[in-house]
Amino acid sequence: MRIGMGYDVHRLTEGRDLILGGVSVPFEKGLLGHSDADVVVHAIMDALLGAAALGDIGQHFPDTDPQYKGISSILLLKHVGMLLQEHGFTIGNIDATIIAQRPKLAPYRPAMVKNVADALGISEDQVCIKATTEEGLGFTGRQEGIAAQAITLLV
Ligand code: MG
């Protein structure tokens, strides 16, 4: 068994869609990034790559590469799933937390879990995506950005 962790932050900005776990969440701002800036999927990919000692998403999907501009991070996650398969790993479970002051994310969590599970070909009970605020403190509290953490177990 191997464990991996991932962490990511993206800045909130006007004029972008807010994509979290492959779900377009209605909000007045979105996350800035080269891809769709899906911060929780990025954290999950880094956890998976980390557990497999396969580097990080910056290495696999450089943000200088035009082919990844605006790309759905769920597609990148599928690619990471295939890489894990090629290296003989199966996923035990994934646990992730989104850290955002707003919007309320609870209604979207089941759809996020389904998107992640489907992309990786695993069951929904192997994926947990939670959400928390930081009580108005720090950059997430000031709604300057959204952070995400993920941990995973590979078998
Ligand atoms: Mg990122």
Contact 129, 41 (CB under 8 A): no
For ligand 1, the distance from its centroid to the CA atom of residue 10, given in whole angstroms, is 6
CA of 118 to the centre of ligand 1 (A): 21
Which of 15, 81, 71 lies closest to 44, judged by CA? Answer: 81
Distance 141 CA to ligand 1 centre (A): 19
Strands 2-13 vs 30-31: parallel, antiparallel or unpaired? antiparallel
Q: Give the dihedral sign, CA 60/7/21/27.
A: negative
Q: pTM of this prediction?
A: 0.97
- For residue 49, the CA-to-ligand 1 centroid distance in Å is 14
Cα 7 to averaged position of ligand 1 atoms, centre (Å) = 9
The CA dihedral of 67, 71, 75, 81, to the nearest 10 degrees, is: 70
Distance 8 CA to ligand 1 centre (A): 5
Strand 2-13 relative to strand 23-25, pairing: unpaired
Distance CA 55, CA 58 (A): 8
| pLDDT 10s digits, 102-154 | 999 999 999 999 999 999 999 999 999 999 999 999 999 999 999 999 999 99
Q: Tens digits of per-residue pLDDT, 45-100?
A: 999 999 999 999 999 999 888 998 989 999 999 999 999 999 999 999 999 999 99
Q: Tell me, in angstroms, the distance from the centre of ligand 1 to residue 87's CA.
A: 24
